[in-house]
Amino acid sequence: MTSISANTDTPARLLSLDFFRGATVAAMILVNNPGDWGNIYAPLEHAEWNGCTPTDLIFPFFLFIVGVSIAYAMGSKKTDPATHNKTILKALKRAFILFGLGLFLSLFPKVFTDPIGAFQHVRIPGVLQRIAVVFFISSIIFLKNSEKNIFRILIALLAVYWALMTFVPVPGVGYANLEKETNLGAWIDRGILTEAHLWKSAKTLGSGRHL
């Protein structure tokens, strides 16, 4: 369902997507501010590791919104290869802005009182940063591939990820596993980003947790 724009040069908005985006933002505000962090309703808390709660769906909902937005905004440009480079550069610019905003939010307000300490412990893979990376890569995949190829890429990525996590022994552990601290993904994150730039739990920070 779309609204009718008064300006014919402005694309009509997708009302269903706007509604879903608003509902997701409202849910995000709720789970990030549940009141008393010592007494939280179970649905407003992330699953410890295995399992899923409504709170765990919010970040995937945002990625779903990004995916729909890419198809809706870039659909007309997909059929014209001459516009692809310009569109990709625009997507790269937006990704950098989003990534930068995520870093700023991770640094704020400590960057003004202890800038060195703030950068030493800034959280690199934050929510906005991950959305920025997904947005840019997904934009390229959408523009440069047919629907069939996009589906093949999806299956291939899932299969490779599953195989790596399930069969590749984790250095220092000796066997493949899917546990929180000892899986291959956690080992790669610690090796590339280091512990100082990863997410800290609410207990460690003494404050609210993030998505």
Residue 89 has pLDDT above 50, yes or no: yes
How much is the pLDDT for 112?
A: 87
Tokens 């069939």 found at: 148
Mean pLDDT of all residues in 58-63: 96
Q: How confident is residue 95, by pLDDT bands cut at 50, 70 and 90?
A: very high
Q: How big, in percent rounded to 5, are the helix, strand and coil portions of the chain? A: 65, 0, 35
Spatial distance between the Cα atoms of 73 and 138, rounded to a whole number of angstroms: 13
Spatial distance between the Cα atoms of 3 and 11, rounded to a whole number of angstroms: 9
Name the residue among 97, 174, 106, 163 with its Cα closest to residue 131. Answer: 97
Residue 193, amino acid: L
pTM: 0.84
What 3-state class would DSSP assign to 14?
strand
Structure-derived torsion over alpha carbons of residues 35, 39, 45, 46, reported in degrees to the nearest 10: 120
What is the CA angle 44-130-89, rounded to 5?
Answer: 145
As given in the structure block, the two tokens for residue 155 are: 């299956």
How much is the pLDDT for 58?
A: 96
Cβ–Cβ < 8 Å for 87, 74: yes
Distance of CA 122 to the CA centre of its chain: 17
To which H or E segment does residue 119 belong?
helix 115-120
The tens digit of pLDDT for each residue in 162-208 reads 999 999 999 999 999 999 999 999 999 999 998 888 876 443 333 33
Contacts of 41 (CB under 8 A, 6+ apart): 34
